[in-house]
Amino acid sequence: MSIEKVGVAGCGLMGSGIAEVAARAGKDVRVREIDEAQVEAGRGRIEKSLGRAVKREKITAEERDEVLGRISFTTEVEALADRDLVIEAVVEDLAVKNELFQALDELCGDQTIFASNTSSLTITDMAAAVNRPDRVVGLHFFNPVPVMKLVEVVRTIATSEETFERAFDFAGELGKEPVAAKDNSGFVVNLLLVPYMLDAIRHLERGVASIPDMDKAMVLGCGYPMGPFTLCDFVGNDTTLKIAEIMFDEYREERYAPPPLLKRLVAMGRYGRKSGKGFYDYSGDEPVPLDVG
């Protein structure tokens, strides 16, 4: 039974990307945001991204309109009741995610699978809060969602084989490459990537090299598409801090501990690209490294 009706809860950076790729794959997509202002911001993100795809001649203007026609927007959680799959991409807060899934648990039919795009919380903590733990799975996408090929498909000890297979096949239908992961905080990618990003910040604190030189070193020395500080600013320093806090709480290992500099940047609102400043200043044509020492 393939998944055709998709619900996406939360239309920020990740939710808008997920809604876009699902609609581009021909799915009937319904996006839920908390208020009209967030709906409009989410719609704008999707339109901008599709506009970029038209400009780059990946899709035609007609295809863009068809894709947009497959996405409906709502502020009502009830409007997700008929979905085959609901993917949550709301804030990285277990209480918020569980409140949403508990409401959906009452509303949705037995066939509905619940998926979380969490970066670092465990799927088990969400599955345990609803009456359908066998139909709860992780579908972890990467930023920018339309570009990055990977989806981590995460099963808990309670996820049924059928749920896992349907979620795995769904990721493939979106044109992604799914990999299976066990339910541990950080799955595969963040388990390896987060300590790397945090280490870069720790080495910056120690004065090993400058921000642009450390970025240049990893791009030219390892062929990474972005250096660690450009990546931190791209992911969002607030997001990385939140992920690090959750992973440190889970493992109690130093490698996941958020470095003081990351906390100071977030306290000052230096989230990275989205706020205009992070390790770099994005107000001009080219990013300019900032003195954060």
Tokens for 65, please give them.
Answer: 């309109």
Name the residue nearer to ligand 3HC (CB basis): 231 or 241: 231
Q: Which of 42, 107, 114 is nearest to 72 (CA)?
A: 42
CB of 193 to ligand 3HC, least distance (A): 6
CA distance linking residue 142 with residue 145, whole number of Å: 5
DSSP classification of residue 79? G
Name the residue nearer to ligand 3HC (CB basis): 102 or 196: 196
Q: Which of 16, 98, 116, 119 is an active site residue?
A: 119
Question: Is position 117 annotated as part of the catalytic site?
Answer: no
CB of 225 to ligand 3HC, least distance (A): 4
CB of 82 to ligand 3HC, least distance (A): 29
Cα diameter, the chain: 56
Torsion of the alpha carbons at 93, 89, 142 and 278, rounded to the nearest 10: -60
CB of 272 to ligand 3HC, least distance (A): 12
Name the residue nearer to ligand 3HC (CB basis): 144 or 289: 144
Is the Cα dihedral 208, 213, 218, 222 positive or negative? negative
CB of 274 to ligand 3HC, least distance (A): 12
Question: Is position 190 annotated as part of the catalytic site?
Answer: yes
CA distances, 109 to each of 84, 117, 175 (Å): 9, 21, 27
For residues 244 and 198, the answer to whether their CB atoms sit within 8 Å is: yes
For residues 26 and 59, the answer to whether their CB atoms sit within 8 Å is: no
Chain residues in the site for ligand 3HC (CB under 6 A): 49, 52, 56, 119, 142-144, 146-148, 190, 225-226, 231, 235, 239
Q: Which of 33, 49, 152, 185 is an active site residue?
A: 152
Tokens for 162, please give them.
Answer: 């059928």
Question: Is position 140 annotated as part of the catalytic site?
Answer: yes
Q: What DSSP line would sit under 233-289, residue for residue?
A: HHH-HHHHHHHHHHHHHHH--GGGSPPHHHHHHHHTT--BGGGTBSSEE-SSSS-EE
Name the residue nearer to ligand 3HC (CB basis): 45 or 270: 45
CA distance linking residue 171 with residue 269, whole number of Å: 34
Name the residue nearer to ligand 3HC (CB basis): 106 or 249: 249
Name the residue nearer to ligand 3HC (CB basis): 10 or 146: 146
Q: Which of 88, 92, 120, 140 is an active site residue?
A: 140
CB of 234 to ligand 3HC, least distance (A): 6
Which residues are catalytic, by number?
A: 119, 140, 152, 190
